[in-house]
């Protein structure tokens, strides 16, 4: 009986991981979740530079295009960095990012 337990547990773990991988990043009705701060802050310095922001936006739009998805609000991305960078120090910190995310949620209510 002990010989059966390990393969069964491995099978369950494998199934669990594959389900998690297919649902990761999707919310209601399969909609893509908004990015988190760490997705954009690629050098992990606690700040998002204009270059990191632009690189992330381009990669995200290219991924959506390759998936055949609509590029909603892509025209609105011009000037978005400046709108999020409230203190105009040419970096977006976590507080500014969360403030912007909160304002987006409030506008969708």
- Within the chain, residue ranges assigned H as helices are 2-23, 37-40, 50-66, 80-84, 94-107
Q: Where are the domains of the chain?
A: 1-32, 34-109
Q: How confident is the model at residue 75 (pLDDT cuts 50, 70, 90)?
A: low
pTM given for the model: 0.63
> For the ranges 39-43, 67-71, 72-76, which has the lowest average pLDDT?
72-76
From 60, 66, 51, 73, select the one nearest 33 (Cα to Cα): 60
Looking at the structure, give the CATH architecture of the domain made up of residues 34-109: Orthogonal Bundle (1.10)
Mean pLDDT of the chain: 76
Tens digit of pLDDT for each residue in 17-61?
444 443 444 443 344 678 999 999 999 999 999 999 999 999 988
């Amino acid at each position: 009986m002990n010989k059966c337990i390990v393969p069964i547990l491995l099978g369950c773990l494998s199934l669990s991981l594959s389900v998690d991988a297919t649902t990761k990043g999707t919310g209601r009705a399969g909609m893509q979740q908004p990015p988190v701060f760490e997705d954009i802050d690629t050098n992990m310095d606690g700040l998002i530079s204009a270059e990191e922001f632009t690189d992330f936006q381009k990669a995200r739009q290219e991924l959506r295009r390759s998936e055949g998805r609509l590029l909603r609000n892509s025209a609105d991305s011009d000037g978005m960095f400046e709108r999020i960078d409230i203190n105009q120090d040419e970096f977006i910190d976590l507080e500014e990012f969360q403030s912007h995310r909160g304002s987006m949620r409030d506008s969708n209510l």
